[in-house]
Structure 1
Amino acid sequence: MSITPSTATAVRLYGPEHAADPQRSYELLRRQGPVGLAEIDTDLVVHLVTDYEAAINLLQDTDTWSKDTRPWLGQVPEHSTIRPLVEWRPSLLFADGDEHAHLRKVITDSFALLDPNDVRVLTFRHADRLLQDFADTGTVDLVGQYAHQLPLMVFNGLFGMGDEHGPRLVGALTAMMDTDPERKAAGAQSFGAYLGALYQTKAAQRGHDLTSWFIDHPNGLSQEEAINQIIITLGAGNEPTANLIANTCVRMLSDDRYFGTLTTGSLPVQHAIDDALWYDSPLANFSFHFPKKDVTFYGTRIPVGSPVMVSYAAANTCPHSGVPADGYRSGTKAHLAFAAGPHACPARSLALLIATAAIERLASYLPDIELAVAPEELTYRDGPIHRTLTSLPARFTPLTPDAEGVTPWSRSSTGPETESDSPSLVTAGRGSVRSS
């Protein structure tokens, strides 16, 4: 018998117990029904959708639900770890209706100008530079030394900044994730300075990059709007992509279907990525929605303006979402790791492209890489939103700079780029943003 949500005890989605076994939390929530009560920070309780069908219905229903967090913000403590994620900004994440469509079109039109091959080349080039730092050591933390640096370095280039600014961006966002208030504040200040320099540079001289296309889009963004679309693109594109790379590597290095070596496993990289998206969603719980009036949703009464989140992780593993008996889904893309409906992640293709290229590059140089610890010894960061490994120690046969054949050091990344290695980031014949 299910528990009535109004009388249920909220299930805590933070702390070491949840980090160690999130599926236990989701099972407790399912006992309350398709919509349960979850505590996402101290005394901060929300409704959480764990049912696949209910999640789809909510994500597609813009008549009932709003994304505007402002009426609720007063209930979120200033010091809460959730506050930065729900602080209202003039970005598509918090917009409804025509305003959302207006802002989203800037991003989707600009992304459409990216040449996938150029993005792959850019990802390969930065992967080579990271690999140069550890390929000759025989050991690596694939989270700190690879997965959590690479997407930001790629996005830094996609937005039009020189490679020398990549480490600055990585350092700023890493500091902003720190628990130390002073370090967090310093990170926020550094990130603000980076954004200011980025916008001013591109406002003064356009290039073939996302920032320039945001500025020049026919929808006419203000400086504040353009910067906030950059912020949401970096935020939504960075950590989930980094987590996807790491979570996929875990599966490829520990799952018998891939075990052996990354290059001789029985299933390709794309299968491992799909598997990770279904069963280890890099963005576990998010998508804040607020009913525009009192509603009864899947048997739960939800007052106007009350926060409702979607658990992508729980919905994907919901017993009614079509999980086969053997636990493996072949060829299906119906997971909710990128949400759904009008607010579905516009960077889905870009994130998958970066993650695939990152893992392929790693495998091409280090085919015998393996976990340095047992899979059950891996730990995850505390928190209700992201599914983030604390570290991913691995070992491999060292690759020396003077080794024969292709190495990270022999690529053009150590010297002047050749024409074929220097991405223009623009699809041939589409040099400016157009309205469609």
Structure 2
Amino acid sequence: MHGQDFADDPHSVYDALRAFGPAAPVELAPGVDATLVIDYQAARTVLQNTMDFSRDPRRWKALNEGRIALDSPVLPMMAYRPNCLFTDGAVHLRLRKAVTDSLDRLNIARIRRDVEPIAAFLIDQFSERGRADLLNDYAKLLPLLLFNRLFGCPAGIGDRLTSSMSAIFDGKDVIKANEELTACLMELIALKRREPGDDVTSWLIQHPAGLNDEELKDQLVMLMGAGVEPERNLIGSALLLLLSSSSSGRGAGMLTEEALDDVLWHNPPIANYATHYPVHDVDLGGVHVDADTPLVISFAAANNDPALKDTPQSHTKGAHLAWGAGPHACPAKSPATVIAVTAIEAILNALPDLALDVPAEQLQWRPGPFHRALATLPVRFTPTPGTRVAAFHTPLQATRTTTAEPPRATTTPIPRQENKPSRKGFWSTFLDIFRV
């Protein structure tokens, strides 16, 4: 599952694996074996059964025995962290309560209000060129910058957070990037303990669960990991569907929400994950799975299970497993959807003649066992002035209110920051524009 052939056509691989039954043996990376659950009902069973299946990777027998290389590319996604993704029972409930309560404070109006100026800022960076890579110029950067905003990051910490998370997702010097990510998050936590704000970091600190600094750091890492990479892939794949549609295409006449739902059913951004470890040997629909071995849920294969075609689930919008199920289901389903809808509508409205710059079948998909991710999304459009940010040029303090009123437009265009000879990161540049 780690080669380019799988990235190019994963559904052919899933179809071939169905010969094994509801689950099949796979190799996630060189030397990393697992069992992939590809049957819809079997996937729901595992996701909802906390007695027989644990999320704690400290049970992983091969890793404990030293048979998994410590520099394995899948280890950052699979190794234990004390967060609500990799814990069970009372510990999981305590950590998840802190996360869900904090996320619940992000109302829909605020999320849209935060996404829109970031989208305008990014579009302004390339709108005069008439061409762009919507993956790396837009879909990748928007959630990174948004999380800086939601976490309450000052300029320096935000730039480092953005660069380190980008490096981790791109597999570039992952060990160093992880060290930098840890360092800047610990600085952020120390800052927010001294100077709390109206942001997710401060809310986690203030939560009655009483998270210590290590726990806070790992919940923030989990939120970024679960929010940035999947959001990029969701936005990119939905834009591809909308832009590649024709009069007879699957995306023809689709609304943004319909395109997102189509992606979540057929090509979910996190295609294979939610690793479980059986606490004892189990029989999964005739497939034997050893205790303490990785059991990976294929959301993509389960959603496209042929057995679903004639069932009520196949006609129900929310029945797909892209958000997971059971006690570890994604706690950010609503915010993630609003972010994607707002981002997609912002660029389609800003560049109404947006079109693919290459045929859809020539696009490259990034290899990797867990995601369904475009490598690039080249587009062309009529060049337009990069002055959209002007409509959002209000002090940052004003955007922290709870009202849903849009910011007033200014009459003076804000100069494009890329024309300045600056070595600042995107987040510093964004803050410079929106600073009083």
The bucket for the TM-score relative to the shorter chain is 0.7 to 0.9
Task: Tell me, yes or no, if structure 1 residue 48 matches structure 2 residue 36.
Answer: yes
Over 3 Å counting, the alpha-carbon distance change for 1:219 and 1:45 in structure 2 is: same
3-state secondary structure, aligned to 1:155: helix
Partner of 2:218: 228
The CA distance in 2 between the partners of 1:112 and 1:91, in whole Å, is: 18
Aligned-pair CA distance for 1:43: 2.3
Partner of 2:298: 311
The CA distance in 2 between the partners of 1:323 and 1:423, in whole Å, is: 48
Under a length normalisation based on structure 1, what TM-score does the superposition of the two structures give?
Answer: 0.87
The CA distance in 1 between the partners of 2:247 and 2:212, in whole Å, is: 50
Over 3 Å counting, the alpha-carbon distance change for 1:14 and 1:108 in structure 2 is: same
Deviation string 1:4-24 (CA, Å, 9 cap, x unpaired) is xxxxxxxxx111111111111
Under a length normalisation based on structure 2, what TM-score does the superposition of the two structures give?
Answer: 0.87
3-state secondary structure, aligned to 1:177: helix
Deviation string 1:108-149 (CA, Å, 9 cap, x unpaired) is 111111121011110001111111100111101001000011
Q: Percent identity?
A: 37
Given candidates 51, 58, 72, the residue that maps to 1:63 is 51
Aligned-pair CA distance for 1:156: 1.0
3-state secondary structure, aligned to 1:94: coil
Partner of 1:423: 400
Aligned-pair CA distance for 1:266: 2.2
The CA distance in 2 between the partners of 1:215 and 1:426, in whole Å, is: 25
3-state secondary structure, aligned to 2:390: coil
3-state secondary structure, aligned to 2:126: coil
Deviation string 1:311-334 (CA, Å, 9 cap, x unpaired) is 00101111112379xxx9766111
Aligned-pair CA distance for 1:300: 1.3
Aligned residue type for 1:233: L
Counterparts in 2 of 1:77-226, with a 5 A limit? Answer: 77-162=69-154, 165-180=157-172, 183-226=173-216
Q: Which has the larger helix fraction?
A: 2
3-state secondary structure, aligned to 1:26: helix
The CA distance in 1 between the partners of 2:177 and 2:293, in whole Å, is: 32
Aligned-pair CA distance for 1:164: 6.0
Partner of 1:346: 331
Over 3 Å counting, the alpha-carbon distance change for 1:178 and 1:360 in structure 2 is: closer
Partner of 1:432: none
Aligned-pair CA distance for 1:162: 3.3
Q: Does the CA-based 8 Å contact 1:270-1:356 persist in structure 2?
A: yes
Aligned-pair CA distance for 1:310: 0.4
Over 3 Å counting, the alpha-carbon distance change for 1:91 and 1:418 in structure 2 is: closer
Task: Tell me, yes or no, if structure 1 residue 332 matches structure 2 residue 317.
Answer: yes
Aligned residue type for 2:388: P
- Give structure 1 stretches of 5+ with no counterpart: 1-12, 402-406, 428-436
Partner of 1:371: 356
Aligned-pair CA distance for 1:169: 2.2
Task: Tell me, yes or no, if structure 1 residue 274 matches structure 2 residue 270.
Answer: no
The CA distance in 2 between the partners of 1:329 and 1:357, in whole Å, is: 27
Q: What RMSD in Å do the two structures reach over aligned CA positions? A: 2.3
The CA distance in 1 between the partners of 2:403 and 2:221, in whole Å, is: 21
Over 3 Å counting, the alpha-carbon distance change for 1:104 and 1:394 in structure 2 is: same
3-state secondary structure, aligned to 1:290: strand
3-state secondary structure, aligned to 1:274: helix
The CA distance in 1 between the partners of 2:138 and 2:157, in whole Å, is: 17
The CA distance in 1 between the partners of 2:80 and 2:389, in whole Å, is: 44
3-state secondary structure, aligned to 1:212: helix
3-state secondary structure, aligned to 1:93: coil
The CA distance in 2 between the partners of 1:222 and 1:409, in whole Å, is: 39
Task: Tell me, yes or no, if structure 1 residue 360 matches structure 2 residue 350.
Answer: no
The CA distance in 2 between the partners of 1:132 and 1:285, in whole Å, is: 35
Deviation string 1:181-230 (CA, Å, 9 cap, x unpaired) is xx334322321222022101101111111111111111111111111111
- Give structure 2 stretches of 5+ with no counterpart: 405-436
3-state secondary structure, aligned to 2:297: strand
Aligned residue type for 1:223: D
Over 3 Å counting, the alpha-carbon distance change for 1:172 and 1:426 in structure 2 is: farther
3-state secondary structure, aligned to 2:11: helix
Over 3 Å counting, the alpha-carbon distance change for 1:426 and 1:365 in structure 2 is: closer
The CA distance in 2 between the partners of 1:323 and 1:356, in whole Å, is: 30
Between Structure 1 and Structure 2, how many residues are aligned?
399
Over 3 Å counting, the alpha-carbon distance change for 1:425 and 1:23 in structure 2 is: farther
Given candidates 412, 426, 429, the residue that maps to 2:392 is 412
Over 3 Å counting, the alpha-carbon distance change for 1:369 and 1:163 in structure 2 is: farther
